[in-house]
Amino acid sequence: MLKLFKRKEYTMDIPQITKQETITKALREELENRPFDQISVTDICNKSHCSRQTFYYYFTSLSDCLVNLFLEARNLSNQYTNYKEAASGLFNYVYENRNFISNVFSAGDQSMQVLSFLFKIIKDTMSRMMDKNNPESRNLLPEDKEYILSYYAAAWCFSFLGWVEGGFKTTPEQETEKMLLISEGSLINAADKFIKYRKENK
């Protein structure tokens, strides 16, 4: 007598997109076509097929949702190992997403929010690279390190802003090259100068 074996079914675990990700994606898609200040919570709810209650469960406002959209840039920045990679990576990220970024910057209040978020990403990245490439920088006073990082992060931020507002007339590669001509190595030099200054003026 033949024994029948039940066929075993195999299933593949496919990551499910969360409702939060769906809402964020809906905002991203809307920003590809129109300015941020022309988009409402209702628009996003309709596009992501969720209620306003669900939207406000995850986000306090559209601006809060916008910040979540830029977390991708922060995650990318964690992969950079030197200043060239950081400059090239960030310029290429902005260029590849130029439609939605331009539509964010066209809304004045939101541009400052994005710049503030970008500033923090750049400053954290520079801090990590400074510690890695110049161990002496660990001898900096906290307030001196904060001053140096804030100075250069602000310079990078406003370079991005000028590029966006200028309509991306140059390539990411050209912008990266200019940025590195000015800043590559100067962060380390600044750290060394501050350390020397503090030693000489104790």
pLDDT digits (tens, 9 = 90+) for 62-75: 988 988 888 877 78
Residues in the chain: 202
pLDDT < 70: residue spans in the chain: 1-17, 108
Query: Where does 16-65 sit in CATH, by number?
Result: 1.10.10.60
So what's the pLDDT on residue 17? 66
So what's the pLDDT on residue 59? 95
Predicted model pTM: 0.78
List the chain domain ranges.
Answer: 16-65, 70-200
DSSP labels for 12-57?
---PPPPHHHHHHHHHHHHHTTS-GGG--HHHHHHHHT--HHHHHH
Helical H runs in the chain?
19-31, 41-48, 52-58, 62-69, 71-77, 83-96, 98-105, 108-133, 142-165, 172-183, 186-200
Residue in 106, 93, 115, 91 with CA at minimum distance from that of residue 31 = 106
Q: Which fold would CATH assign to domain 70-200?
A: Tetracycline Repressor; domain 2 (1.10.357)
